[in-house]
Chain A
């Protein structure tokens, strides 16, 4: 449904009222910068805001200026930007392995059970090295942070997912993976018997065990069994946790900001994500399209009578340059128009900045581009109106 409110006002209200804002989108669209700029804006308006990124390349640290970020929230000095009373900004980078370990520690009965899992070779590798763990743990951490009373608002920058589902469905998949009740029936014989024989009740189960054996091998199966059995006592805890994540993602106090660039692939991804959000009844807040190239001729001065005095060679080069950028602007305008038609939403268009954003002032300028009046926007983009 088309909202009557302007998209900037909708986003502004979300920044003032929500408890959790999640930025999503494909890679390279300025998602981290957007998350940091939104967090800074909310902090300047007087909220206590935590910006959390899952990005292991630590881009948030780059955009928040100097200093390393860690797995614990660190206060960012925003005094130079005259924040409203009470406003504070914190930032952190998700520590995937640390979060997973903490999760295990929370749900195991005793130290022995915990250590058995932490030492399990299979666990060691899935908990840090393999793709997918990031999404699982992002959800887990989000839950913890959303309950943290030090913060009014958590802005979560998600990993660039080509497959947006990976992220939204992380809790379900973790649960499915750890569902020992199901797996046990064909894995347990390895563990319990400790012999090569497989005794399973059904033929499908036997076939599955055969694939596992062919594919993985016996010794690994034993480790895998151990892993699942170790998780057995934790399963209820996990299920409860996953249900909480679901509730949090669906809550009215949570909102999603979809970030894209004006390239077809990025817009396609944002569209796809929005459809999934609606299906899952999660709260969509705004589309934000970064790095828009405007037509240089659109904002032209009123008077342009007479021939300009430049050499014919330079005139030809200038004309080519203008034409090229008009093509670019046209292609982008068309792509954005398609998004508007498909969604009946007006996206927030952020023009390309003259300089890369890598400090707080740059972030503040970025947020002027999103929320400011026309002259403020022009100034922030570094363009003389």
Chain B
């Protein structure tokens, strides 16, 4: 259901507070779309730990790189995107090389606030609009963007709006408006807010959800609640766990499985699943888009098989 609506667009942008697992959710979403035979591109921005590692693919090195058949990853380096743009503008190689080597270029373009963000979003727009030369089919069925957690909420998505206001005329304003139109068009772009069942993450998700609509004019299409603990014990079992905890019961459940430790673990599980329910209810009250829960995974590593579990959960949602 949710996946139907997301893959109907060409662009899915994930946003949320840092540490909520956006990159994992992005990789899982890309896998789920690939399972539907979509040609998928997963875009990250200057991340030190690329999703391709989890997918078992090679590092992207700034290029669309096939991690699995039909699933490509791309780790964008804003500076490289900017250099590419310069080469594009200045057709002459020699002049372009001069400019790229010039300290003035680096000082200005590295420091100009918002320019890198705009460049990265512009690159994503180019990818979104790319077509095959002969068939005129779109190059990508779905592009999943793991937007950087800048910590300033919507800072990244605000850049095109700010730029279009600051520079209403000229190419920069024109392109900023095109990017903004793409992001605001619900037929092209779906904004997905990611959270975890914790106070700060949920507060920020709700803020992001509201501000995306009211301040940037982009309506979020879904909220993903990551790392959920679901009910495991029946009411009667939970009551018994609490009784065992307070009576300080000892003994073993099996050889090498001490009861007191298991009860401690169970109490934690119960506490977390209650928190999950509490925050899920709070989110439900505050947003009116579909809300999808993904399970917390207790695994040694977070690789392809773990991502498949999450992809299946997205497909089932």
Contact = CB atoms under 8 A, between A and B. Distances in A.
B190 to A, nearest CB: 23
Interface stretch (B125-133, B160-168, B284-292, B308-316): B160-168
B230 interface: no
A304 B258 contact: yes
A310 B90 contact: no
Interface stretch (A43-51, A72-80, A122-130): A122-130
28 contacts: A27-B18, A55-B151, A59-B200, A122-B167, A129-B161, A130-B113, A130-B117, A130-B158, A130-B159, A131-B159, A160-B149, A163-B46, A204-B102, A207-B96, A216-B167, A216-B170, A217-B169, A220-B172, A261-B19, A263-B19, A296-B262, A306-B252, A318-B262, A318-B265, A322-B261, A322-B262, A327-B300, A331-B300
B263 interface: yes
Contacts of B265: 296, 318, 321-322, 324-326
Of the four ranges (under 10, 10 to 19, 20 to 34, 35 or more), the interface on chain B belongs to: 35 or more
| Smallest CB-CB A-B distances: 3 pairs | A217-B170, A27-B18, A28-B19
A220 B169 contact: yes
A333 B197 CA distance: 23
A121 interface: yes
A324 B298 contact: yes
Contacts of B251: 304-309
Interface in B139-194: 148-153, 155-156, 158-159, 161-163, 165-167, 169-173
A1 to B, nearest CB: 26
Contacts of B110: 173, 176
B114 interface: yes
B49 interface: yes
Contacts of A321: 232, 262, 265-266, 269
A34 to B, nearest CB: 12
B48 interface: yes
Contacts of B85: 215
A132 B262 CA distance: 48
Contacts of B156: 131
B149 A215 contact: no
Contacts of A331: 299-300
B153 A62 contact: no
Contact of A220 (B150, B153, B167, B233): B167
SS class, residues of chain A in contact with chain B:
helix
B99 interface: yes
Contact of B252 (A183, A204, A298, A304): A304
Contacts of A176: 107-108, 110-111
B183 to A, nearest CB: 15
A304 B18 contact: no
B87 to A, nearest CB: 10
Interface string A349-363: 000001010100000
B170 A219 contact: yes
Interface stretch (B4-12, B59-67, B201-209): B201-209
Nearest to A316: B253
Contact of B258 (A121, A173, A269, A300): A300
